[in-house]
Amino acid sequence: MSQQIWQKRLSVDRRIVGLLSRRTYEDFPRAIRELVANAYDADATRVEIDLDLDRDRIVVTDNGNGMTSDQFDFFLRIAGQQRGKESSPVFERSRIGQFGIGFLAIFPFGKQIQIESTARLSETRFEATVPAEEFLRETGRIVDVEEIPVPGIEVSDPDLTDEHWTKISVLGLTEMTHRYLTREILGIARSRRTIGSWPPLERLEWELREDLPLDYPADSPFGDPFPDLEPSGMEVLLNGEQLWRNVIGRSILERSAWKHNEIACEYYIATNWNSISPDEGRYVKLRIHNVGVGDRSSFGLGVLGRAYSRLHWLTGEARIVRGFNNLLTIDRSRFIRSPEYDLFVEHMRSRLAHFANYVETISEAKRDISRQLTGSRAAQVASRREVIDRNLAKLEKRGFKVIRTRPGGGHSRKLPVRVDLEHKLVEIVDSHPNLKDELRIDNTTYELRYLDWDLRSKGNPAVRWSAGGAVEVNKNYPLFKSLRYGEVIKKILITIMLLARKVERPDTLAEATSRRLLDLLADIGGRDNEDQGN
């Protein structure tokens, strides 16, 4: 066994170091991501990230190809440009690091960066220490980074031939790092709806899962969102727990591709059929070489012009298969605008707009059916069958399959219609008693018939008795068209008409009406009482 002490220099554009010095603690997850990206490029199949605040250090270890001291010399020559081959030597992975600033991203978060590595089929192992704080220290003058030495030691040992790994230790965590890992959230409600209110390690985990080249968990509906996308082939562990790609949304609305000249991408758009949580999981995540680029984007939809009430129900992912390499910013946070990129943005914006309208139509149809069947005060003043059939037609037009049971027989289900959003399926029991138009008052059930008659004709313009004893309701009556109070007004007028046949004095009618309405409209009184209690 022998050893050699040496000293190297970091060769890097000073502007990049200046960029790093202006980073904030919010960039900490991105810095960790860069270290994992280097491991991915080095054909690692396992990366372990260990945060040890008690010992004031972060250690990232991988079982990739490793480096010799000569390769480390090349590793230190960084100018933010493409370098090396475009694919990894063993698994031929599309390289990630050729676009980024590599391990430099971690400089603002540790006073020293210690690198240890041994390469495949090499008998040597080296250890080097980069004085990161020297590169970012404010000195009042332009510092030539090549003046700052990177000391190291190289050890030769034949037993190392079968080993290959790299270990990067961030030592002496800076104030910026501690602010991310321990900070208190100010001005943000303590809600799980935004990762900004989560405990620091949970936030870090979510952001790493969002950006790293990870696989989906096996039971995820997105386990194979893109048929030609191979598994990452790499496990990433954070403090001993394996990370999987974020699973957001459970129903895929569209899975498709877009091409233009030399540009190609694959994407999917999904929903949970309610507001996506956390908020940061809304809209489309862009990926290039299976790595996340910046925050999720709605591509400007809803910012100017028309608002989309269900846009926040959408999530998705767009994987850049070919092109846009030269449009990626140095920190991989966004793409630079170009005519081709603008076309891509316009396509994605149009798809999000389409599905924002789609989920709105579906959710409103399901809501209107439910309101009509449950007798909600927000129900429409119309025949149950009429409202349900109209909304079933909307669902069928948008790809839902409607299954109707045969008439007759007993049915134990309380409601006759069940809408399964995930499977785009509607089941309806045509003979179900709850499809009848009825109103129960004073232990008596009255049949309702919804008609249209002229308000100027003689008699009651809103409700009346039929010759057979049913209650006829005029759908043309203006107050019935109120979405908030139409159903309530209908019940009041029917109650008054019923009681008018049973009482002789006006004051008795008023008293009887008031008492009947307490039972008939109990949902209003109960809800108002709850509001006052809050």
Residues in the chain: 534
Residues 50 and 168 in one domain: yes
Residues 115 and 251 in one domain: no
Q: Give the three-state DSSP class for 286.
A: strand
pLDDT in tens, 168-223: 999 999 988 988 887 655 445 556 689 988 889 999 999 999 999 888 888 887 76
Paired tokens of 187: 């001005």
Please state the φ and ψ torsions of residue 488, each to the nearest 5 degrees: -65, -45
Residues 138 and 265 in one domain: no
Domain assignment present for 150:
yes
Residues 6+ positions from 387 with CB-CB distance below 8 Å? 368, 369, 372, 379, 380
Residue whose pair of structure tokens reads 């308000």 in the numeric block: 455
Domain stop point among 306, 338, 361: 361
> Rounded to an integer, what distance in angstroms lies between the CA atom of residue 332 and that of residue 204?
18
Cβ proximity of 198 and 215 under 8 Å: no
- Global pTM value: 0.85
Residues 267 and 168 in one domain: no
Please state the φ and ψ torsions of residue 113, each to the nearest 5 degrees: -120, 115
Mean pLDDT confidence for 142-147: 60
349 is in which domain, residue-wise?
Answer: 240-361
Residues 253 and 334 in one domain: yes
pLDDT in tens, 464-513: 999 888 999 999 888 888 888 889 989 998 988 888 888 777 777 767 77
Residues 88 and 178 in one domain: yes
Domain assignment present for 22:
yes
pLDDT at 223: 65
Q: Give the three-state DSSP class for 511.
A: helix
pLDDT in tens, 33-66: 889 988 998 999 999 999 999 999 999 999 999 9
Residues 175 and 263 in one domain: no
Paired tokens of 135: 């590169």
Please state the φ and ψ torsions of residue 136, each to the nearest 5 degrees: -110, 0
Domain assignment present for 371:
no
> Rounded to an integer, what distance in angstroms lies between the CA atom of residue 517 and that of residue 534?
25
The domain spanning residue 254 has which CATH number? Answer: 3.30.230
Domain assignment present for 328:
yes
Residues 261 and 339 in one domain: yes
> How many domains are contained in the chain?
3
Domain assignment present for 72:
yes
> Rounded to an integer, what distance in angstroms lies between the CA atom of residue 151 and that of residue 171?
16
Residues 350 and 469 in one domain: no
pLDDT in tens, 478-491: 888 888 888 998 99
pLDDT in tens, 154-169: 999 998 899 999 999 9
* Amino acid identity for residue 348 in this structure: M
Residues 47 and 160 in one domain: yes
Domain stop point among 361, 380, 399: 361
Paired tokens of 6: 């040496």
Domain assignment present for 333:
yes
Residues 149 and 262 in one domain: no
The domain spanning residue 49 has which CATH number? Answer: 3.30.565.10
Domain stop point among 303, 334, 361: 361
Cβ proximity of 130 and 113 under 8 Å: yes
Mean pLDDT of the chain: 84
Residue whose pair of structure tokens reads 């109990």 in the numeric block: 522
> Rounded to an integer, what distance in angstroms lies between the CA atom of residue 136 and that of residue 112?
11
Mean pLDDT confidence for 277-290: 93
Q: Residue 334, Cβ neighbours under 10 Å: how many? A: 14
First to last CA, the chain: 76
Domain assignment present for 468:
yes
Domain assignment present for 430:
no
Residues 171 and 262 in one domain: no
